[in-house]
């Protein structure tokens, strides 16, 4: 097993809608998707964003796209139009998730 940043085995894209964030994570291979489908749970993502996400996190699997989609409720302190936080946008949450460290079996690493 090796500890790597998620970005080494997946890509992510994120955006905001009101007070929530949507993060799509796409694995770099089918084998990595199967690994992430087991390991990258809503609870793991909730722990990664515990400082900012005050609501539930739901996860949807998109196996044909090798992707997982996470919806983070109440993650933007009211959203871009309702908060005093500068630039409360969800675009940074995807790249932020990619910095998370994860144990990956050596045979799955590129």
pTM above 0.75, yes or no: yes
pLDDT digits (tens, 9 = 90+) for 90-105: 778 899 899 999 999 9
- Picking from 4-8, 40-44, 75-79, which range would have the lowest pLDDT averaged per residue? 75-79
pLDDT digits (tens, 9 = 90+) for 49-66: 898 888 899 999 999 999
pLDDT tens per residue across span 19-51 = 788 999 999 999 999 999 999 999 999 999 898
> What are the domain boundaries of the chain?
2-108
Q: What is the helix, strand, coil percentage profile of the chain, to 5?
A: 30, 35, 40
| 33: number of Cβ within 10 Å | 24
């Amino acid at each position: 097993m090796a500890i790597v940043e998620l970005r080494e085995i997946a890509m992510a894209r994120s955006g905001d809608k009101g007070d929530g964030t949507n993060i799509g994570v796409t694995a770099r291979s089918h084998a990595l998707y199967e690994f992430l489908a087991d390991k990258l749970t809503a609870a793991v993502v909730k722990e990664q964003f515990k400082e900012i996400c005050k609501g539930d996190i739901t996860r949807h699997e998109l196996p044909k796209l090798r992707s997982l989609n996470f919806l983070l409720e109440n993650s933007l302190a009211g959203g871009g139009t309702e908060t005093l936080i500068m630039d409360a946008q969800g675009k940074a949450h995807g790249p932020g998730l990619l910095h998370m460290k994860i144990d990956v079996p050596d045979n799955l690493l590129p």
